[in-house]
Amino acid sequence: MNEIIKAIHERYSCRDFSPTPLSDEQVEVLVKAALAAPSGMNRQPWHIIAITDKTMLDEYDADAMSILKTSAPEAYDRMMERGGTIMYNAPCLIVIAKDDAIDSPLDCGIVSQNIALAAHSMGLGNVICGMASPPLSGLRAKEWTKRFKIPDGYSFGMSVAVGQALSGKEPHELDMSKVTYVK
């Protein structure tokens, strides 16, 4: 099996990170993997924001959990069962901001997958994290948008939390009942 297929089959969503920071070189590799993603008509309707300020990430995580507690109790309960945080103590969050003028959820998904596979190939745990969005539309949205340096005309598209995994996990089992072959 080639290395790319192997990485796809081995990658899992990490929910248990060490607080050990990533090196600047590791973050740069992940950012460049994000930028290498293809997009419709090569419009590249994204802006990549790599956040490694742990104090800011912890504050953001607490804000997200507070919002979920009141606005989405089921999601809050699920996150509490998984450790009580959105980003599972990851020391790096890569936010993919999307260009509001271009309908780009698919492109943001491709970028997030590039980051996730690159992180896995580097021996880093990662989790694609849509649950990181509530503070960017909550009461402190303007503050967080400014602190995250999201450019005007862009909004949250997706994010990937990355760091050293504290524990491993088996990837999900393939469900072949989700496949139909037409020949």
pLDDT band at 138 (very low <50, low <70, confident <90, very high): confident
Q: Cα 164–165–166 angle (5° rounding)?
A: 115
pLDDT at 169: 85
pLDDT band at 76 (very low <50, low <70, confident <90, very high): very high
Please give the Cα distance from 180 to 42 (Å, whole number).
31
Domain annotation covers residue 183: no
Domain annotation covers residue 22: yes
User: Directed axis angle between helix 105-121 and helix 24-35, to 10°?
Assistant: 140
Range of the domain at 140: 3-178
Answer yes or no: is pLDDT of 1 > 80. Answer: no
pLDDT at 13: 92
What are 121's two structure tokens?
Answer: 């190939």
How far from each other are the two terminal CA atoms of the chain, in whole angstroms? 25
Mean pLDDT of the chain: 94
pLDDT at 154: 96
What are the backbone angles phi and psi of residue 48, rounded to the nearest 5°?
Answer: -95, 130
Residues 29, 122: contact at Cβ < 8 Å?
A: yes
Residue type at 76? Y
Domain annotation covers residue 152: yes
Please give the Cα distance from 109 to 179 (Å, whole number).
21
Specify the number of domains making up the chain: 1
Please give the Cα distance from 95 to 108 (Å, whole number).
10
Please give the Cα distance from 110 to 125 (Å, whole number).
18
* Cβ-Cβ contacts under 8 Å for 146 (sequence gap 6 or more): none
Domain annotation covers residue 46: yes
Domain CATH for 155: 3.40.109.10
| Helix%, strand%, coil% for the chain, nearest 5 | 45, 15, 40
Answer yes or no: is pLDDT of 147 > 90. Answer: yes
